[in-house]
Amino acid sequence: MRKRRPTSDATEIIHRRFYEGRPERLAELAEAEANDSVARKIHELRTGSGLTQRELAKLVGTTASVISRMEDANYEGHSLAMLRRIARALNRRVELRFVRTGERKKVA
């Protein structure tokens, strides 16, 4: 792969400009994406169950501001304990996996 295909995807352009070939930044990016992913999962889990933050908070045994904080993509302080509390309140369990990086891109 020598030459790049043109793209109009902003995310892609930004990626090329700031991260490509910069290991340190790539690590930060991975971190950021991971947090974003957790935040989003919690958000989806909650809204998918038709609950407001306050309602979920009550089920979990905390307050709405705490839930809001966990749904914030920039929050990095997730603990397994808290994630499990949320999971349990929604009849889920937390499953954890260590997957090899540099894996071939999945088909889907």
Partner DNA sequence: CGCTCCTTTCGCAATTTTGCGAAATCCGGT
Partner DNA sequence: ACCGGATTTCGCAAAATTGCGAAAGGAGCG
Shortest separation between residue 26's beta carbon and a copy of itself, angstroms: 11
**Helix, strand, or coil (residue 89):** helix
* Residues in 5-44 at the binding interface with DNA, rule: CB under 7 A: none
* Residues in 59-78 at the binding interface with DNA, rule: CB under 7 A: 61-66, 68-72, 76-78
Nearest Cα residue to 54 out of 65, 62, 64: 64
- Residue among 11, 24, 61, 81 that touches a copy of itself (CB under 8 A): 81
Contact segment (CB under 7 A) with DNA among 7-15, 17-25, 50-58, 98-106 equals 50-58
Q: Choose the contact partner of 39 out of DNA, a copy of itself, none; CB within 5 to 8 A by kind.
A: none
Radius of gyration of the CA atoms of the chain, in A = 18
Contacts with 105 (C-beta within 8 Å, 6 or more apart), sequence order? none
Separation of CA 37 from chain center: 1
